[in-house]
Structure formats: C-alpha cells, structure tokens
Amino acid sequence: MQKYHLLINGQQKRSAGESFFPAFDPTKGEQVHLITQSTPDDVNNAVAAAKRAAAAWGQLRPLFRGRAMHAIAQLIRTNKAHLSSIESLNTGKTKGAADREMDIAAEYFEFFGNLTSQRGGELIDIGDGYHCFNQHEPYGVVGIITPWNLPLNQFARSAAAALAAGNTVVVKPSEHTSASTVELVTLIFQADIVAPGVINVVTGDGKTGSALVGHPDVAKVSFTGSVQTGKSVGALCAGSVKPVTLELGGKSPNIVLADADLDRAVQGCIKGFVSNAGQVCIAGSRIFVHTSIYDAFQEKLTEALSRLDQSRESWAPIITRQQYQKVLNFIAAGEKENLPLVYRSDASLVPQQGWFVPRVVFAVTDEDNCISSNEIFGSVAVLRKFESLQECIALANNTNFGLAAGVWGRDISSIHQLVSRIEAGQIFVNDYFAGGVENPLGGYKESGIGKEKGIQAYLNYQRSKNVVIALDPAQ
C-alpha cells in the first residue's frame, strides 16, 4: 500500500514519529493509502524551510513568478491522468469529475500566474510636493489548510494565489484526502519549478493544522473547512493578530420565482444539491419556490430526480465514513421529525457497496427542524413555498450562513431586489455554480472572512504599505 510522506524543503521527509493513518476508497470502503501523521517538529521544520525561502521568492521578478505558475499549470495538465486517478481512488469521483477538477486546478495557476506582473500598487495624489504610493508586499509564510471535498482543487485555489502574490506556503491537506496534494508537490520539485522551501506539505489531523496556525513564523493563514473548526482557527489567529481567510460552510437558498423557466430551474436546483453528492460548500440545499408554481415544480423535480437516479454514472459517494454516517443520521432525524418526504431515492438504485446515500428532499413549512438549519453536506434538500418577495428574502436570510444563493426567474426588478438584499457572498442568477477561477468566493456571516478566487484573493495574500515622500522644494 502506498505510503505518503511529508514534503519539506523540496524533499520527501519521513516523520520521526513514524505514525500513519489510513485513507480510503469511498466507493468500496476499503483502505488505499497510508498518510503520515506529522509531529510538532515536522511542522517547525516545514515552516523554517518556508521562511528561509521567503525572501528570494518574494523578491523574484514577478514576471518570473508568473512563469513558474504557468509551468505548474502545464505540469498538472501533462500529469492529469495520473493526478486524476489518485483523486478518483481517494474520493470516489468519476474520471470525468476528477478530470474537470484537475483542469480547474491548472486554471488557478494560470489565472494567478497572469496577475503577478500586473498588480504592483497604486499612485495616490496627495497634492504638490509629495510622492505618495501604496506598494503591495507578500506576507512571508502562509499556512494553508484544506478540506476533503475537492482536495487538489482547493489546494490550487489557495496555494496558487498565495504563491503568485510572493509568499511561500506550508500546506496541510485534509487527513482523509492528502494523496493528490503530496503527489502534485512531489512532481513540482521533480520538475525543479520552484526553489526548495517555496511549497511544503505537512500531512496530519487537526493537531497538525492547529500547530501550523499557531506557529509564530506563519504570517497569514488560509483555512477552508467547517464553521466549527474555522471559529477555533480564527480564535487562535486572533491571539497574535494574525490575518486569516476563512472559507467555511453554507446552507444556500435556491429561489424559484413565479416566472422562472421551470425545466431549467428544476435542473439547476438538482445540480445545486446533488453535485458531488452534496459535498459542496455552496450547495443550494434550501429550495424556495413561489406558491403559484410550487406543485408543477415539485412534480418536475421528482420526475427529474427519479430519471437521474437511474444513471449509475450520476452517483458519487460520500468521501469519508464519518460524513456518510452523519448524512444518514440527518435523513433519519428528518424522518423522525415527520417532515413530509417529497423525494427519496429508491433503495435499489443507491449503489450498495461503499458510502453512497439516497437523494432526499423534505417539504418544510418552517425553519424549526434539523434539516433546514444545519449544513448537511450530503444530497439532502428542503423544499418550501413562499408568497411574496419580502417573505422570500426573509427566509433566505434566516440562517447564520451566507455563502451563496441562486435565483431563477425573468422579472428584472424581482431579481435585482433579491440580489441586493440576500446576505450572501455570491449569487447565481439562472445558472447555479456559474463562473470559474476568476470570480471571487467568500462568505457573509458565519460562512467566512475574506475571499478566495479572483483578483480579490490575490490581493488578500498581500499586505499594502503606504509610502509618502516629501519632495525637496529647493530642487
């Protein structure tokens, strides 16, 4: 069985602790890899290597940093089949889905590579006699912690932005899905694209993550994961006033207005909560439908879900055993609360081996139940009627989350009112999940702080220094 070690200062390192934990193939529930549990010394060594490499990388001509980013993108494309097969094995994603995620990972390096030599700072006019400007500088060492739902993709999302902005990085991937990150960074060093220490990987559980976040030489943290862990990461950062980007969970509304194209809205709402078996932070798991079209929508939704269930290719497993159990527990709790079932996949169509869960939609009339209020992170949604735009806005905002929202309809006035009054960091109108590496993502409320993706993420990985030079009036 393949063992994955640490990557520190450009080299594969065995941890002195010699302790490993298993990673699984969720389509079978079988162990496939062994992942190193880092010790605190490993984290110290990785941060020290990143710190040694920081000055040279941060001062490199930005055009050359961009060139390295493009070389990494090319490397991902050249090794797509290999990286994609590792990701598939460890997450159960189909080849098509894993291939797409490799393409997106490459696009992150291309996009941020293109920005390196274009965003140097700004000139500020404060009047005659002064030269005033802002210069953008890297932080130094950035600690990056990623979750298990889109492993290599989320590594690329944060690391490409941090590196392009001139930082060196120490990455801690999820303990459940570390293999693809270790593999890509190994390839980067074999291809000699960046100097040793520019990218380091420490594998391990939350203790490793916490040691990284709390390390005094880590100047900025990027955390993607659950609200609960995000709060403890944020609290640890607050202790040393360390800047932190928190990309956390969601319970996003998908709103279908009376004049929506029903077939399109049904397909979009299904995609919103079923993609990747619902293991998507911006999943649209609360579907609100105008009362005038509710019955027609419900009929089309159940028809389309039963057609989808027939396709073996459409099923993705839940990636971890704990999460699988959690989703099943939520479904059981919803049934115990006697929430009316709009849809539940026929048991005979749910793949029996591995960690697959049925697609479930409950009808609700209030938010006072376990399904409406919690992020389930599985293919479970609630369906609810609304009468007026005001009611719909109130429903959409009646949550501590604020990551994303979807709106389906044609009336421009209603769409604009929803767009401006829904408290969420990203809104999709008539195309859920639209966009790519270019458009920024980041939550309102408990869904997070700061942005990943887009130019905003690049700027998030730099600090800005204002300089005022008084010009000599005698000259």
Tell me if 226 contacts ligand NAD by CB under 6 A.
yes
φ and ψ of 196, to 5 deg: -55, 140
Take residue 257 and report the two structure tokens written for it: 């207005």
Q: What is the DSSP string of 55-113?
A: HHHHHS-HHHHHHHHHHHHHHHHHTHHHHHHHHHHHH---HHHHHHHHHHHHHHHHHHH
Length of the chain: 475
- Closest approach of ligand NAD to the CB of residue 218, in Å: 11
132 catalytic per annotation: no
Considering 110, 183, 247, 452, which one is annotated as catalytic?
Answer: 247
Q: Calculate Rg over the CA atoms of the chain.
A: 23
Q: Is the CB of residue 45 less than 8 Å from the CB of residue 59?
A: no
By three-state DSSP, how is residue 274 classified? helix
Kindly write out the interface string for residues 390-429 of this chain, putting x where it contacts ligand NAD by CB under 6 A and - elsewhere: -------------x--------------------------
Q: Give whichever of 228 and 292 is closer to ligand NAD, judged by the CB atom.
A: 228
| Contact pick of 183, 247, 309, 446 for ligand NAD (by CB under 6 A) | 247
463 forms beta bridges with 137
Considering 269, 281, 446, 452, which one is annotated as catalytic?
Answer: 281
Tell me if 148 contacts ligand NAD by CB under 6 A.
yes
462 forms beta bridges with 138
Show the DSSP H helices in 165-226 as ranges: 179-190, 206-214
| Contact pick of 12, 44, 134, 232 for ligand NAD (by CB under 6 A) | 232
Tell me if 374 contacts ligand NAD by CB under 6 A.
no
Tell me if 175 contacts ligand NAD by CB under 6 A.
yes
| Contact pick of 205, 261, 367, 423 for ligand NAD (by CB under 6 A) | 205
Rounded-to-integer distance, Cα 87 and Cα 126, Å: 53
Please identify, among the stretches 71-79, 102-110, 201-209, 266-274, the one whose residues bind ligand NAD according to the rule CB under 6 A.
201-209
Q: Give whichever of 233 and 342 is closer to ligand NAD, judged by the CB atom.
A: 233
Take residue 130 and report the two structure tokens written for it: 């002064």
Q: Give whichever of 115 and 212 is closer to ligand NAD, judged by the CB atom.
A: 212
Q: Give whichever of 342 and 380 is closer to ligand NAD, judged by the CB atom.
A: 380
Tell me if 244 contacts ligand NAD by CB under 6 A.
no
Our CA dihedral for 352, 433, 418, 416, rounded to 10 degrees, sits at -150
Please identify, among the stretches 67-75, 223-231, 342-350, 457-465, the one whose residues bind ligand NAD according to the rule CB under 6 A.
223-231
Q: Give whichever of 138 and 402 is closer to ligand NAD, judged by the CB atom.
A: 402
Tell me if 171 contacts ligand NAD by CB under 6 A.
no
- Closest approach of ligand NAD to the CB of residue 340, in Å: 27
325 forms beta bridges with none
- Helix/strand/coil (H/E/C) assignment for every residue in 407-472: EECCCHHHHHHHHHHCCCCEEEECCCCCCCCCCCECCCHHHEECCECHHHHHHHCEEEEEEEEECC
Among 170, 56, 137, which residue's Cα sits nearest to residue 462?
137
Residue with tokens 């993108």: 73
Tell me if 92 contacts ligand NAD by CB under 6 A.
no
Among 404, 421, 178, which residue's Cα sits nearest to residue 284?
404
247 catalytic per annotation: yes
Footprint of ligand NAD on 281-320 (CB under 6 A): 281
Give Cβ neighbours of residue 300 (< 8 Å, ≥ 6 apart): 262, 263, 266
Tell me if 210 contacts ligand NAD by CB under 6 A.
yes
Pairing verdict, β 380-386 and 286-290 = parallel
Q: Give whichever of 219 and 342 is closer to ligand NAD, judged by the CB atom.
A: 219
Tell me if 149 contacts ligand NAD by CB under 6 A.
yes
**Residues with a known catalytic role:** 247, 281
Binding residues for ligand NAD, per CB under 6 A? 145-149, 172, 174-175, 205-206, 209-210, 213, 224-226, 229, 232-233, 247-250, 281, 375, 377, 403, 441, 448
